[in-house]
Amino acid sequence: MRDFSYLRAGSVDAARQAAALPGAMLLAGGTTLIDLAKCGVAEPDTLVDITHLKGLDRIDVNERGATIGALAKMGHVADHADIKSRFPAISEALWQAASAQIRNMATIGGNLMQRTRCPYFRDPANFSACNKREPGSGCSAIGGVTRGHAVLGTSEACIAMYPGDLATALVAFDATVHLGERRLLVDDFFLLPGTTPDREHAIKPGEMITAIEIPSSAAARRSTYLKIRDRQSYEFAAASAAVGIEFEADGRTIRDLRVALGGVATKPWRARAVEDALKGKVLEPETIRAASLLAVEGAVDHGANHYKIELAPRVVARAILKLGETA
Amino acid sequence: MTVHNIRHGDASDGALAEAVGGRLSRVDGPAKITGAAKYAVEQQLEGLAYAVLVESTIASGKVRAIDTAQAEAAPGVLKVLTPDTIISLRTASDWFGTPPPDKPYCPLARDITFSGQHVAAVVAETFEQAVTAAALVKVSYDETPAIVDLSDGKAGDGIPIDAMTKEWGDAPAAFAAAPVRICAAYNTPREYQAPMEPHGLIARWEGDQLTVWEPSQWLDGMARTYAEWFEVPFENVRLVSPYIGGGFGSKALALSHGAVAASAAKMLGRPVKLVMTRPQTFTGYGGRAATRQTVTIGADHDGVIQSIVHRGVNETSIDGMWVEPLGSVTSIMYATPNFSSKQNVVRVNSVVPGAMRAPGENPSAFGIESAIDELAYEVGIDPLEIRLRNYAEQDPHAKKAWSTRQLREAFAAGAERFGWARRSPKPRSMRDGNQLIGWGVAAGTYPVRRAYGEAIVRILADGSVEVESSSIDMGQGTYTILAQTAAETVGVPADNVVVKLGDSRFPRAGVTGGSRLAGVMTGAVYKAATSALDQLVGLAISDPRSPFHALQANTLVVANGRIGSPRGDGPDVTIAELLKSVGRDCIEATGDTMPANSTAEDRYKNYTTIAMALPHTEGDYSRHSWCAHFIEVRVDEDFGTVRVSRVVSALDSGRLYNPKLAESQWKGGIIMGIGQALLEEGIMDRRHGRIVNNNLADYLVPTNADIPDIDVISVGIPDLHSSVLGGKGVGELAIVGVAPAIANAVFHATGKRVRDLPITLEKLI
């Protein structure tokens, strides 16, 4: 970790201006940033501390939806009574993420900016090739240890998996991110790697995440986040699914369905093909399992991560069927 | 140096907690929980400088050049150490005390034999400056192809280790003639000790006197190594290891990072602190070697074994030798008239592997305890029943009686508590919704390693008792059981005992490894305390100033800190009052477990090498601890995830000096075994010969959520062939057999036999 300047921003505007300067980064909970600085990936010249800014940690829930300030802590959002009742998938995604200690520090805005766990990305001293770190330097992961890498949304430049849980649930329910005045669907906020894997988010210099907004829906109210992983806690997803469902009056026919995948793609992955195939269908295990296979259409493995292609549809199917059981 | 005043534990300790065998809570617990415990590298020293290591980024080749110009110019940098600039050391002897080759030793490498080898170090005024400058050291290499692991085409068959060969009867012929034959290969990956406290030290020279604050499982052995490296007398090196944040075998030896820090301190004339980063702990020393075994068993249709043929391979480094004895359990667990076990060691470009909880026995048990389970299904006999049918009534290899072997009792007690009789024998026949349920059993064992220890026991003027020993407490409870031993032997309350450990200036102790320390040190303290008590009673009877002088008694009774006559008809005074009346401010006695007539040279070897340890089959008996694990797993049939939902283990560690602490160690071993079975694996980038999951986010060890309630049952009886007070080994035993019990349960749940650890989900979907 090299020396850096520390600046305490007096306002959101001041923070945005300071962070727009080359080499500057915003500091919120710091749980990702300090980690990346220690492993030599983040080398900020200036850290702009925003943790004390007033009003950015609010959680407002009303009939229209939820607005969550960028500085709200993951732990607080996970435990918020209205989030739990109206957006169970959001709460479940949060409490199954990281550890209690990290959730007490980490913020919602910072969570959206969380970077990949690709071991090659995280070890510049040993692996100089990484297009995400150094555009054009190559990809060390392709041909290497790939058990945790993406099978969806990959490119020849990058197969790094997006590791977060919250954003997976956010894209399922059409959440938007507030960048000051500009608003973007979370789905559009995250970029595919393509030929520019160093660009992960559609955020511009001078912009700062101020809030996320999740519109209310019947599907969000009846939702779940199912996370399958190697160990039971403090572990990234082998495959996960955020699913919400709304039935017709008969309680069996699917009116609305939301499905997003985590742990398998280069960004939070909305599985619209599964949604479209099942809308209007009656909830039957065979139908669900067959349609869930569409979740991994176009998936490409790199050897050791092949299991994700098998696993992800099963996670989707289980999550949908679990929601159906509570009908 | 560490001092504990014993405090009574909580109510669960029970009324007799303070005696040997009582459930006294750990006396070092409050200091650790409150943060008052000061670990080795937390010492605050005047003028402390900070060293940071630079590691090789290739696995094989030579350092061509090291450009230190930028690093040397960086702020605060005091010195950049390279093979060219570091002072020359002498090669030290190995842990057997084998005289070393007469050649220099350089802890920074020019010839690279593994990725992560130390090639340079930067010393600076602050830790941050050292980190920054270390990143500016530019090392260029001439790279050569590496042998990355056992499956590398260049690895070959390896070196036969003749000392590992164990044979009797004609195993191949008996196998060929057997009506039932099974043969399978079992593999375990590189595993890492992953202690909470990373390795590190502070080294300080005062003239030719070296003090090293370093977490250590073996103060005297490490002091010897430092003394030999720097060519100073053994007595000039002081090791201080007040608390240890976990070792699991990895903190028994002085390692190259220690040589770097002590060299830097000598060169600068300042104390130097060096602490490994977590990634460096994956290459700065060795974890458990990757192993391969084939086990073939020939049996009759009743499952009675006729022959076992076992072949094992473990990896070692290019220039170091580590033998993980893979036939250790194979050769003693079951009776067989014909047996053959052989082992090779294969050199790969890795740091030399090291000791990790139950080296040898752990992977050995994974092979034989999986194989006998396979035999059970092959012949259609319950996996518990087949173990009883092949029960070894004596040591099949040494052909000696067991000192004690409560394994049959362990099987019975564990099966009863677990409800094994309700097991449905067929695989995939028990389920709960999406969860396939499996029940597995496996046995484990660990030899009783016996060595030597010394202690001083002092009875002080205030009536309190002080115990000193250079042995250590890395969490297993040495402070506590030695306090109990001294309290009971002298006859004082345990909270009147102060135990001091972790300083090589104290009376000596051998390595804290191989589960030997408790048996050794309770023996030494018992002897010293008995001798101190004899002196005390002798004084009371014979000193003319003693209130007991006129009594003309043959003996007196000391209990609860008071002295009286056996019949209670004379004076009754406190120890403090007696000492005051006879004008003494201290009674001191030493005790040790060494053979009579030991020479000074014997004593040095006893405590600074492992060459003098007694074989567990010495004399008429074969001495081992034993255990049986009964484990339930739930396997999600869609996801392949394995969760351990129930563990009942019955264990024979002989007499327990403190059941609460023994149970904690057993549970710790079982938890580590669950990690080994399901999670732990060093994952190799074969192009670079480098372990890429070198941190605790990617090298998975179990969390609380992965561990169910664990039920442990003690079935041991005192074994006086094993130790002075009747205990056998505790610390390593319980991990042995956990992985095969889980693998066997997974087979019962799913019908899939996983022979490569860890059992990750992709192996089951």
Dihedral angle computed from the Cα positions of residues B603, B606, B611 and B614, in that order, rounded to the nearest 10 degrees: 110
Please, are residues B149 and B684 in contact by the beta-carbon 8 Å criterion? yes
Return mean pLDDT, chain B. 95
The pLDDT score that the predictor gives to residue A1 is: 59
CB atoms within 10 A of CB B214: 27
Percentage of chain B modeled with pLDDT above 90? 95
First to last CA, chain B: 53
Q: How confident is the model at residue B641 (pLDDT cuts 50, 70, 90)?
A: very high
Element (H, E) at B469: none
Please, are residues B508 and B603 in contact by the beta-carbon 8 Å criterion? yes
The pLDDT score that the predictor gives to residue B554 is: 84
- CA dist B13 and B3 (Å) reads 22
Residue type, B638: D
The pLDDT score that the predictor gives to residue B555 is: 87
How much of chain A is helix, strand and coil, in % rounded to 5?
A: 30, 20, 50
- CA dist B447 and B443 (Å) reads 14
CB atoms within 10 A of CB B444: 34
**HSE (CB half, 13 Å, CA atoms) of B113?**
14
Residue B695 pLDDT exceeds 50:
yes
Give the tens place of pLDDT for each residue, B241-261: 989 999 999 999 999 999 999
| ipTM for this model | 0.97
The pLDDT score that the predictor gives to residue B723 is: 93
- As a whole number of Å, the CA-based R_g of chain A is 19
Catalytic residue IDs of B: 732
- CA dist B60 and B687 (Å) reads 12
More confident residue, B552 or A81: A81
First to last CA, chain A: 53
Please, are residues B89 and B221 in contact by the beta-carbon 8 Å criterion? no
Instruction: Kindly list the distances between the CA atom of residue B199 and the CA atoms of A212, B40, B55, B354, B620, in Å, as whole numbers in the listed order.
Output: 43, 10, 16, 14, 41
Instruction: Specify the pairing of strand B180-188 against strand B291-299.
Output: antiparallel
Contact B115 A232 (CB under 8 A): no
- CA dist B499 and B504 (Å) reads 14
Residue range B393-448+616-763 forms a domain whose CATH class is: alpha beta
Pick from B131, B679, B703: CB nearest A1? B131
B393-448+616-763 has the same fold as B41-145+197-282: no
DSSP class of B289 = P
Q: How confident is the model at residue B8 (pLDDT cuts 50, 70, 90)?
A: very low
Q: How confident is the model at residue B13 (pLDDT cuts 50, 70, 90)?
A: low
Q: Taking residues B58-67, report their average pLDDT.
A: 98
The pLDDT score that the predictor gives to residue B11 is: 47
Percentage of chain B modeled with pLDDT above 70? 98
DSSP class of A152 = B
Sorted by sequence, the CB contacts under 8 Å of residue B752 that are 6+ apart come out as: B746, B763, B764
The candidate with the shortest Cα–Cα distance to B638, out of A239, A222, A270, A275, is A239
Q: How confident is the model at residue B6 (pLDDT cuts 50, 70, 90)?
A: very low
List the domain boundaries for chain B: 2-37+451-608, 41-145+197-282, 393-448+616-763
Alpha-carbon distance B764 to nearest alpha carbon in chain A (angstroms): 10
CA B509 to chain centre: 15
Instruction: Kindly list the distances between the CA atom of residue B602 and the CA atoms of B100, B102, B526, B606, in Å, as whole numbers in the listed order.
Output: 19, 23, 22, 6
The pLDDT score that the predictor gives to residue A325 is: 84
CA B639 to chain centre: 35
Q: Which of B50, B122, B275, B638 to mutate to test the interface with A (most CBs of A within 10 A)?
A: B638
Alpha-carbon distance A254 to nearest alpha carbon in chain B (angstroms): 23
Please, are residues A56 and A70 in contact by the beta-carbon 8 Å criterion? yes
Contact A231 B688 (CB under 8 A): no
- CATH 3.30.390.50 matches A219-325: yes
The whole model's pTM is what? 0.97
| A311 contacts on B by Cβ (under 8 Å) | 639-640, 761, 765
- CA dist B596 and A305 (Å) reads 63
List the domain boundaries for chain A: 5-49, 219-325
- CATH 3.40.220.10 matches B41-145+197-282: no
The candidate with the shortest Cα–Cα distance to B314, out of B358, B359, B371, is B359
Residue B2 pLDDT exceeds 50:
no
| A318 contacts on B by Cβ (under 8 Å) | 434, 638-639
Please, are residues B91 and B294 in contact by the beta-carbon 8 Å criterion? no
Residue A141 pLDDT exceeds 70:
yes
Instruction: Kindly list the distances between the CA atom of residue B532 and the CA atoms of A166, B491, B517, B589, in Å, as whole numbers in the listed order.
Output: 66, 11, 22, 5
Give the tens place of pLDDT for each residue, A175-196: 999 998 999 999 999 999 999 9
Residue B335 pLDDT exceeds 60:
yes
Residue A76 pLDDT exceeds 60:
yes
Please, are residues B311 and B293 in contact by the beta-carbon 8 Å criterion? yes
Token reading at B564: 């009286």
The candidate with the shortest Cα–Cα distance to B586, out of B468, B463, B501, is B463
Q: What residues in chain A have their Cβ under 8 A from chain B's Cβ atoms?
A: 1-3, 40, 117, 119-120, 123, 125-127, 143-145, 147, 228-235, 238, 306-307, 310-311, 314-315, 317-318
CB atoms within 10 A of CB B555: 11
Residue range A5-49 forms a domain whose CATH class is: alpha beta
Give the tens place of pLDDT for each residue, B337-374: 999 999 999 999 999 999 999 999 999 999 999 999 99
| B641 contacts on A by Cβ (under 8 Å) | 228-230
Q: How confident is the model at residue B568 (pLDDT cuts 50, 70, 90)?
A: confident
- CA dist B447 and B514 (Å) reads 8
| A125 contacts on B by Cβ (under 8 Å) | 55, 57, 135
DSSP string, A178-230: EETTEEEEHHHHB---TT-TT--B---TT----EEEEE--HHHHSEEEEEE-S
Q: Which of A34, A126, A308 to mutate to test the interface with B (most CBs of B within 10 A)?
A: A126
Dihedral angle computed from the Cα positions of residues B518, B519, B521 and B522, in that order, rounded to the nearest 10 degrees: 100
Q: Which of B692, B698, B757 to mutate to test the interface with A (most CBs of A within 10 A)?
A: B692
- CA dist B1 and B211 (Å) reads 12
| Secondary structure tally for chain A: helices H, strands E | 13, 12
Strand partners for B432 = B435
Q: Assign residue B657 a region (left: φ > 0; alpha: ψ between -120 and 50; beta: otherwise).
A: alpha
DSSP class of B453 = B
Please, are residues B705 and B675 in contact by the beta-carbon 8 Å criterion? no
Backbone angles phi, psi at B423, to 5 degrees: -70, 135
- CA dist B102 and B89 (Å) reads 11
| B115 contacts on A by Cβ (under 8 Å) | 126
Handedness of CA B759, B761, B763, B765 (dihedral sign): positive
**What architecture is domain B2-37+451-608?**
2-Layer Sandwich (3.30)
Handedness of CA A134, A135, A137, A139 (dihedral sign): positive
Which residue in this structure is represented by tokens 């830097």? Answer: B264
Q: Tell me, letter by letter, the H, E, C secondary structure of B615-633.
A: CCCCCCEECEEEEEEEEEE
Pick from B128, B636, B684: CB nearest A1? B128
Edge-to-edge strand list for the sheet holding A24-27 = A5-8, A46-49, A24-27
Please, are residues B556 and B546 in contact by the beta-carbon 8 Å criterion? no
Q: How confident is the model at residue B209 (pLDDT cuts 50, 70, 90)?
A: very high
The pLDDT score that the predictor gives to residue B7 is: 42
The pLDDT score that the predictor gives to residue B569 is: 83
Please, are residues B575 and B563 in contact by the beta-carbon 8 Å criterion? yes
Token reading at B476: 């297993």
Backbone angles phi, psi at A177, to 5 degrees: -110, 135
Strand partners for B275 = B200
